[in-house]
Chains A and B, each alone.
Chain A
Amino acid sequence: MAGTCFCFDLDGTVTRAELLPMIASEINLEQEMSLLTRLTMDGLIPFEDSFRLRFAILRSAGLERIRSVVAEVELDPDIAAFIADNRDRCFIVTGNLDVWVEPLMQKLGCTFYTSTSQMSANGDVQLKHIMRKNVPGLELKERFDRVVAVGDGYNDLPLFDVADVGVAYNGVHASPDALISVADYVTMNGKGLCRLLSTL
């Protein structure tokens, strides 16, 4: 396949709120989660370690409860519409877990690359593989002439590194300087982002 494809981060880019803190607030672990989020955002804990810890905190909420929170999250209407119009060349590339974000796979209807889980014999969700975003980025580069990456966090750096065009997204919170320093563009809401994407 030729042409341009678009890789979107999920939390705080396509969704108008970060999903993990939303789940944490359901089980009254907001403070613990926000400390961990801050340490991760400040680059003090690598994303993979942070995600393992966050997974350990949040799994106690139970799969159904997590999915019901995820299903309720508000999507950016402009970005969701862009994805709907370009389903075969839009991809979600997220560190979030496959079984947790499943409700959004159905809503958005495009292919997701996620961290993966497996069910243990007693029905527990266990972490199988944590997403490294350069892997799907390189895979998509084989299929498309050009890869455009859109994201807002440190864990988007490996994707920006392999993408042809990087767009830092400040629509929900400011992207870290490290991400902006490797970006070609910065956009500040879904309208501006989609106007840019429609010209790429």
Chain B
Amino acid sequence: MSIVEHAVVAAAGLGSRLGHGKPKCLVEFGGVSVLAHIMSLLKDVPDVRVVVGFMEAAVIAELQRVRPDAIVVRNPSFRTTTTLHSYALGAQHLTGDCLFMDADLLIVPETFHTFLEGCRPGEARLALTASKTKDAVYAELDGEAVTGFRRENPTAFEWSNISWLPVKYFTDIGMTAVYEHLRRYLPMTSGEVVSFEIDTAEDLAQAKENAQLFGLAAT
């Protein structure tokens, strides 16, 4: 069992780069929404907070179906803010450590649970995945420690948009991307997951090729 008590899932964005005209978390794989997949991964985490914005009624309806005890956090300014703002809103009123993740991810369940089991109190930890997405944030590594992020010159691993972080990291934020904000707290330890982001049509195609890995039938 992991010590993870709280999770904040960012599901507010427009998903315009994917261009499906709906939130990325509602894209379906064989009849299972990405949101249902994420909620199934988080079934042992007692306090799950999902930050909604774009088409919030549709996201809330799906959440009501798959995880009715989740807490919906509204981000009415989703069009003018970044995921960083959603994370800060989601973690408001929480203390200690929290799992932060995006809602547009498909993850091999065993690797996700291994990551959660490796989380320790007060020890910030990033989940990395083999580099593959079009718009990756590459991790610079020294052993298991992430020492830097970069957008050019691919490294072997990219940040998966999953992190275990003290909530206090989000008390003072600017209008930046999450990885830019996290730079000030580097180095951080890391663990590997097998995950696919569906930011673009190419990413989605890649995830679909690997759909059998995600345990979707069990969702």
Chain A residues with CB under 8 Å of chain B are 170, 177, 180-181, 183-189, 191-192, 195-196, 199-200
Chain B residues with CB below 8 A from A195, complex form: 46-47, 69, 71
* Of the residues A180, A184, A188, A199, contact of B68 by C-beta under 8 Å: A188
Q: Main SS of the interface on chain B?
A: mixed
CA of A43 to CA of B62, assembled, Å: 26
| Number of cross-chain contacts by CB at 8 Å | 44
Asked whether B74 lies within 8 Å of A185 as measured between CB atoms, the reply is: yes
Q: Please, what's the 1-or-0 string for B78-90, where 1 marks a CB less than 8 Å from any CB in chain A?
A: 0000000000000
- Given the known interface contacts A180-B74, A185-B74, A192-B68, the answer about A199 and B94 at a Cβ–Cβ threshold of 8 Å is yes
Measured between alpha carbons, how far is A186 from B93 in the docked complex, in Å? 15
Residues of A within 8 A of B73 (CB): 184-185
Q: Is the CB of A192 within 8 A of B74?
A: no
Q: Is B46's CB under 8 angstroms from A185's CB?
A: no
B:49-65 near A, CB below 8 Å: 52, 56-57, 60, 63-64
Give CA–CA (A170, B46) in the complex, Å.
19
Is B213 an interface residue, CB under 8 A from the partner?
no
Query: Cβ of A186 and Cβ of B68 under 8 Å apart?
Result: no
A188 touches B74 (CB 8 A): no
Tell me how far the C-beta of A51 lies from the nearest C-beta in chain B, rounded to whole angstroms.
27
What is the CB-to-nearest-CB distance from B29 to chain A, in angstroms, rounded to a whole number? 24
Q: Is the CB of B69 within 8 A of A186?
A: no
Contacts of B139 in A (CB 8 A): none
Provide the residues of chain B in CB contact with A199, threshold 8 Å.
47, 93-94
When distances are taken between beta carbons in the complex, the residues of chain A under 8 Å from B64 are 170, 188
Question: When the two chains form their complex, are residues A184 and B63 in contact, meaning their CB atoms are under 8 A apart?
Answer: no
Q: Which residues of A contact B70 (CB under 8 A)?
A: 188, 192
Q: How many angstroms from the CA of A186 to the CA of B64 in the assembled complex? A: 10
Residues of B within 8 A of A200 (CB): 93
Q: Which residue of B lies closest to A183 (CB)?
A: B74
CB-based contact B56/A188 at 8 Å: no
Minimum C-beta distance from A161 to chain B (A): 15
Known: A183-B74, A184-B74, A195-B46. A189 touches B68 (CB 8 A): yes
Q: Once the chains are docked, how many angstroms separate the CA of A196 from the CA of B71? A: 7
Extra pairs beyond A170-B64, A181-B76, A186-B60 (10, CB < 8 Å): A177-B57, A183-B74, A184-B73, A186-B74, A187-B72, A188-B60, A188-B64, A196-B71, A199-B47, A199-B93
Q: What are the 8 tightest A-B residue pairs by CB atom distance, in nearest-first order?
A: A186-B72, A192-B69, A191-B69, A188-B68, A188-B64, A189-B68, A196-B71, A199-B93
- How far in angstroms is the closest Cβ of chain B from A156? 15
Whether B60 lies near A185 (C-beta < 8 A) is no
> In the docked arrangement, what's the CA distance between A195 and B47, Å?
7
Query: Which of A170, A187, A188, A195 counts the most chain B CB atoms within 10 A?
Result: A188
Minimal Cβ-Cβ distance residue in B for A186: B72
Residues of chain A lying within 8 A (CB to CB) of residue B94: 199
**Residues of B close to A180: CB separation below 8 A:** 56-57, 60, 74
How far is A43 from B56 in the complex, measured between Cα atoms in Å?
A: 21
Instruction: For the complex, give the distance between the alpha carbons of A181 and B64 in Å.
Output: 18
Contacts of A177 in B (CB 8 A): 57
B60 surroundings in chain A (CB, below 8 A): 170, 180, 186, 188
A195 to B48, CA, bound (A): 10
CA distance A177 to B76 in the complex (A): 13
5 contacts between A and B (CB under 8 A): A185-B73, A185-B74, A187-B71, A191-B69, A192-B68
Nearest residue (CB) in B for A166 is B74
A186 vs B71: C-alpha distance when bound (angstroms): 6
Chain A nearest CB from B65 CB (Å) reads: 10
Within the complex, the shortest CB–CB distance from A67 to chain B, in Å, comes to: 32
Instruction: Report the separation of the CA atoms of residues A183 and B93 in the bound assembly, to the nearest whole angstrom.
Output: 16
* CA distance in complex: A7, B183 (Å): 41
B residues within 8 A CB of A188? 60, 63-64, 68-70, 72
